[in-house]
Chains A and B, each alone.
Chain A
Amino acid sequence: MNRTKIAVIGGGPAGLAAAIEAKKAGEDSILVLERDRCLGGILNQCIHNGFGLHTFKEELTGPEYAQRFIDQVRELEIPCRLGTMVMSIAMAEDGSSDKIVTYLNHEEGLVQLRAEAVILAMGCRERPRGALNIPGFRPAGIYTAGTAQKLVNIDGFMPGRSVVILGSGDIGLIMARRMTLEGAKVQAVAELMPYSGGLKRNIVQCLDDFGIPLKLSHTVVNIEGKERVKAVTIAKVDERNKPIPGTEERFECDTLLLSCGLLPENELTSGLGAVISPVTRGPEVNESLETSIPGVFACGNVLHVHDLVDFVSQEAAQAGRNAARFVQGQAGETPTPDIRVTAENGVRYTVPEIINPGRMEDTLTLRFRVGAVYQDIYESVYVNDRRILHRKKKIAAPGEMETVVIKKDSFDQAGEVKSITVRLEEE
């Protein structure tokens, strides 16, 4: 059986950053498995700029951002298998903590790879039309924004000329601009929620600058066209997201793009038996970004959906570092009990979900999302009853991930840790 110390599942931004960091931490035996024909993942089709502001302090396109990591992977001589689909991950049957990664490609065939640690970096997929329960016909011309983005940016084809977009996720906003620049008429972006799911800067640069209306609290109530989309009807929704009769607006168009949320791709993770969070739909992880299965780490959009790739890279680097420590036997004993972080009062979830104060690095980045739009709100972190962090935010919205950094020594001052809580507070 083939062996590696660390198997990295996915060669997108998360997998690349994790592999690089594991290598830099002194681990040589790494193998990156990528299902596509090239490295870089979804960044390859994100040809707009705005990537890397945090990491490189400059604006890069998606492929440029990816290339910086691909170059490092090449320099560090980290082996990668392309066109390679991981079919399953399972625990070794000999009772060790090794994992058996079964993968498939057309050169080696079906291969079983024995790995001491696995880094999950499979990314996410888009929520399809069916998951949105949009009534109407099922003609050609209905695409997720990401599929349309691939058709236009990678394959060089136009999926349509006259477009309505449902959902104001970032890819939908980006595609509103992209389709417009390619000569299509984008008539409207409808968003079910009373706020956008995308970044503010994307609403300004992709919709406002092109005069594309954003219709908040609207949804699609009918799709016409038996073979190809002929028209889409949208309507305003009430507080319970039910369409309000009489508010219908019909757009003749040939295309409906959907940008209604991303779902972490955790079929391999579930197959392995790792605990999945019902909120993020990614695996639950501890402060080391380790899942409920020892030696299996997760990072990037497979863990929880991010807005900015810079944060994916940061998170992945941490996963890579910890995977290296694990295989080098430095993960250490667990000196204190695991504490489950309580997310409450407007905080929907946190990643990590579990913190072992004894195993924390000097600082710990806690990422979370809020459940609604809040203005002039405070983000607070409590250890036991002691508030260790209190930070004012002018605005907090579900479309923008929040990050707080907590210091290990603030834990030490709190004495024996019994609870950790992240919440929003009015003052």
Chain B
Amino acid sequence: MYDVIIIGAGVSGCAAARELSRYDLKVLVVESAEDVCCGTSKANSAIVHAGYDAKPGTLMAKLNVEGNRMMEQVCQDLDVPFDRIGSLVVCRSDEDRSVLDKLLEQGRQNNVPGLRIVDRDELKEMEPHITDETQWALYAPTGGVVCPFTLTVAYAENAAANGVQFMFDTCVDQVIPTQSDTGKFFVLETSKGQLQAEVVVNAAGVYADRFHNQVSKEKIHITPRRGSYNLMDKSAGNHVRHVIFPLPSDKGKGTLVTPTVHGNLLIGPTAVDIEDPEGTNTTAQELDAVVQTSGKYIADIPYRETITSFAGLRAHEDGHEFRIGEVEDCPGFVDCAGIESPGLTSAPAIGVMVAECVSKILNAEKKMDFDPLREGVLDPKTLTPEAYIELIRQEPAYGNIVCRCESITEGEIIDAIRRTPGAKSLDGVKRRTRAGMGRCQAGFCSPRVMEILSRELGVPLEEITKSGGESRIIVGKDKFAG
């Protein structure tokens, strides 16, 4: 019997796990995929929003601004790349200026610091590639970019270091509220058997409505809202300097153009409501739309430098609001649902809110030995030449470059595999180290990373996958080898 089971190892579930690990509780995170950060958390804009978009007075507005404020400290404690580069909402006509004014006013009500309107001249100075039609912008200096993979992984690693357990490849089927002589608890029917917990945290992303509706009479509905993106080479990363949004629409914040925290250029997303909660495929229409829309306010985007395109699903709840807290008609069941944008930004605040809610239910005490710090995978490029040479002397694997595009060494890959929870697949290695995330998109390094995974995990090469399940890279030996 666990005190708490968290369903879902996305950024919300992992942030909640880490904040709960401050308490003297037995916590388990169950995840249907093979790793953390496999759903919405891995395919989004990677933006830390300032907080002027959300309607004043909503939980979304509150947690966005709080999360933004907390991000610096969290990223420092957990060693996560974060850059407060500022954001701009641009408009192309004087009539649209009123929308910016409204956003500005909304932002002030939400307590977003430093907001101001900039005119075309200043905008051109800030963003030389702005199109001729673009007239005004709302500037938010607190906007930024973060690495969503590292943030999620870091939360998970720090949670694990503080005692939280993780079960992967475990699909929850049913959450059953149960009454026994000793009290109320939950039985979770999973693909790996029964699990029991006093409190369940529902951080299941696009599946969160399923679990909520299993235990509550008040039904909720979540729509997977797909967003497609184009990612460009680092050579294009300086094309813009801020996160640049068009005017928002009823479907969201629109197609943005931004440098990523690692120096690539990212454009997207679209917003298309779909039925399939696994429908992360891109379509020609959406990829076209990304190009068409972004080109309206940023000129000369070097689309030719595109290295990959991808799609992610937002967990859009009908009320467009975060639903966080104990479900009224099911005590002990804590929702963390409807976490769409600005969910990544809000994650630090969401984690705290969930942990406070759960600890209250369980009357939990804080631990004395909680360690808030996590050290990231060592990037030897950040060392002085002398320190680098010394590192290679001790660990020669840091002298072997495996991913030539991102200059990732064997030492970093081994580190990522040996962590808890560690990388088990090519994508797991990629998200933790960036090996395979560069311009050749793993063409050169994947056979080498497979070798290292096989050796470190003690499994045959044939069993190495791209991302768990049936995603094996090779299907067998060739005639000569076989």
Residues in chain A within 8 A of chain B (CB atoms): 35, 83, 85, 87, 104-110, 112, 125-126, 128-131, 133, 135-140, 143-144, 146-147, 150-152, 154-161, 182-183, 221-223, 226-228, 243, 254, 267, 270
B328 within 8 A of A: no
- Select from chain A the residue with minimum beta-carbon distance to B307: A130
Contact check, B481 vs A140: say whether CB atoms are below 8 A apart: no
- By a CB distance below 8 angstroms, the chain A residues around B308 are 128-130
Q: How far is the CA of A135 from the CA of B279 in the complex (A)?
A: 12
What are some 9 contacts across the A-B interface (CB < 8 A)? Answer: A85-B407, A110-B389, A128-B439, A130-B230, A130-B441, A140-B465, A140-B472, A146-B443, A147-B443
- By a CB distance below 8 angstroms, the chain A residues around B238 are none
Contact check, B475 vs A158: say whether CB atoms are below 8 A apart: yes
Contact check, A221 vs B393: say whether CB atoms are below 8 A apart: no
- By a CB distance below 8 angstroms, the chain A residues around B404 are 35, 85
For the complex of A and B, the 3 pairs showing the least CB-CB separation, nearest first, are A156-B481, A106-B399, A130-B308
- By a CB distance below 8 angstroms, the chain A residues around B447 are 147, 150-151, 154-155
A137-B280, A139-B471, A227-B470 known; A129+B441 contact, CB < 8 A: yes
Which of B9-17, B76-84, B157-165, B282-290 interfaces with chain A?
B282-290
| B387-401 at interface with A (beta carbon < 8 Å) | 388-389, 392-393, 396-401
Interface hub of B230, B286, B441, B469 (most chain A Cβ within 10 A): B441
Contact check, B281 vs A110: say whether CB atoms are below 8 A apart: no
- By a CB distance below 8 angstroms, the chain B residues around A222 are 281
Contact check, A109 vs B393: say whether CB atoms are below 8 A apart: yes
Contact check, B282 vs A159: say whether CB atoms are below 8 A apart: no
Q: How far is the CA of A66 from the CA of B401 in the complex (A)?
A: 23
A136-B281, A140-B471 known; A128+B441 contact, CB < 8 A: yes
- Select from chain A the residue with minimum beta-carbon distance to B461: A157
Contact check, A156 vs B400: say whether CB atoms are below 8 A apart: no
- By a CB distance below 8 angstroms, the chain A residues around B278 are 226
| B433-482 at interface with A (beta carbon < 8 Å) | 439-441, 443-444, 446-447, 461-462, 465-482
Q: How far is the CA of A296 from the CA of B467 in the complex (A)?
A: 42
- By a CB distance below 8 angstroms, the chain B residues around A158 are 474-478
Q: How far is the CA of A152 from the CA of B397 in the complex (A)?
A: 26
- By a CB distance below 8 angstroms, the chain B residues around A83 are 399-400
Q: How far is the CA of A353 from the CA of B101 in the complex (A)?
A: 53
- Select from chain A the residue with minimum beta-carbon distance to B445: A147
A35-B404, A87-B407 known; A140+B396 contact, CB < 8 A: no
Contact check, B472 vs A110: say whether CB atoms are below 8 A apart: no
Q: How far is the CA of A143 from the CA of B469 in the complex (A)?
A: 19
Contact check, B443 vs A105: say whether CB atoms are below 8 A apart: no
B174 within 8 A of A: no
B168 within 8 A of A: no
Q: How far is the CA of A221 from the CA of B281 in the complex (A)?
A: 12
Q: How far is the CA of A263 from the CA of B122 in the complex (A)?
A: 38
Q: How far is the CA of A137 from the CA of B278 in the complex (A)?
A: 10
- By a CB distance below 8 angstroms, the chain B residues around A104 are 392, 399, 401
Kindly identify which residue among B287, B439, B467, B477 contacts A227, using a CB–CB cutoff of 8 Å: B467
Interface size class of B (residues with CB under 8 A): 35 or more
Contact check, A159 vs B474: say whether CB atoms are below 8 A apart: yes
A129 to chain B, nearest CB (A): 7
Contact check, B479 vs A131: say whether CB atoms are below 8 A apart: no
Known: A151-B474, A221-B284. 12 other contacts (CB 8 A): A106-B400, A126-B440, A129-B308, A133-B287, A140-B467, A140-B473, A152-B478, A157-B476, A159-B474, A227-B469, A228-B471, A270-B235
Residues in chain B within 8 A of chain A (CB atoms): 230-231, 235, 278, 280-284, 286-287, 306-310, 385, 388-389, 392-393, 396-401, 404-405, 407, 439-441, 443-444, 446-447, 461-462, 465-482
Q: How far is the CA of A286 from the CA of B458 in the complex (A)?
A: 52
Q: How far is the CA of A143 from the CA of B309 in the complex (A)?
A: 15
Q: How far is the CA of A161 from the CA of B466 in the complex (A)?
A: 17
Q: How far is the CA of A339 from the CA of B316 in the complex (A)?
A: 61
Contact check, B440 vs A128: say whether CB atoms are below 8 A apart: yes
A226 to chain B, nearest CB (A): 6
Contact check, B388 vs A135: say whether CB atoms are below 8 A apart: no
Q: How far is the CA of A85 from the CA of B448 in the complex (A)?
A: 15
Contact check, A110 vs B282: say whether CB atoms are below 8 A apart: no
Q: How far is the CA of A137 from the CA of B226 in the complex (A)?
A: 13
- By a CB distance below 8 angstroms, the chain A residues around B444 are 125, 147
- By a CB distance below 8 angstroms, the chain B residues around A131 are 306-307
Q: How far is the CA of A156 from the CA of B481 in the complex (A)?
A: 5
Contact check, A227 vs B471: say whether CB atoms are below 8 A apart: yes
B273 to chain A, nearest CB (A): 18
A126-B440, A128-B307 known; A135+B462 contact, CB < 8 A: no
A171 to chain B, nearest CB (A): 11
- Select from chain B the residue with minimum beta-carbon distance to A139: B471
Q: How far is the CA of A156 from the CA of B478 in the complex (A)?
A: 5
Q: How far is the CA of A228 from the CA of B462 in the complex (A)?
A: 14
- By a CB distance below 8 angstroms, the chain A residues around B407 are 85, 87
- Select from chain B the residue with minimum beta-carbon distance to A155: B447
Contact check, B284 vs A243: say whether CB atoms are below 8 A apart: yes
Contact check, A109 vs B392: say whether CB atoms are below 8 A apart: yes
Q: How far is the CA of A152 from the CA of B280 in the complex (A)?
A: 30
Q: How far is the CA of A222 from the CA of B285 in the complex (A)?
A: 12
Q: How far is the CA of A150 from the CA of B473 in the complex (A)?
A: 13
- Select from chain B the residue with minimum beta-carbon distance to A102: B385
- Select from chain B the residue with minimum beta-carbon distance to A154: B447
Contact check, A135 vs B470: say whether CB atoms are below 8 A apart: no
Interface hub of A143, A158, A183, A243 (most chain B Cβ within 10 A): A158
A87-B407, A151-B447, A227-B469 known; A137+B281 contact, CB < 8 A: yes
- By a CB distance below 8 angstroms, the chain B residues around A182 are 478-479
Q: How far is the CA of A138 from the CA of B436 in the complex (A)?
A: 14
Kindly identify which residue among A136, A144, A155 contacts B282, using a CB–CB cutoff of 8 Å: A136
Contact check, A228 vs B470: say whether CB atoms are below 8 A apart: yes
Contact check, A147 vs B446: say whether CB atoms are below 8 A apart: yes
- Select from chain A the residue with minimum beta-carbon distance to B280: A137
B31 to chain A, nearest CB (A): 16
Q: How far is the CA of A80 from the CA of B170 in the complex (A)?
A: 50
A156-B480, A157-B477, A226-B278 known; A135+B284 contact, CB < 8 A: yes
Contact check, B392 vs A110: say whether CB atoms are below 8 A apart: yes
- Select from chain A the residue with minimum beta-carbon distance to B231: A130
A133-B287, A137-B280, A151-B474 known; A157+B440 contact, CB < 8 A: no
A85-B404, A135-B287 known; A107+B306 contact, CB < 8 A: no
A371 to chain B, nearest CB (A): 17
- By a CB distance below 8 angstroms, the chain B residues around A147 are 443-444, 446-447
- By a CB distance below 8 angstroms, the chain B residues around A105 are 399-400
Interface hub of B393, B396, B443, B466 (most chain A Cβ within 10 A): B443
B119 to chain A, nearest CB (A): 34
B279 to chain A, nearest CB (A): 9
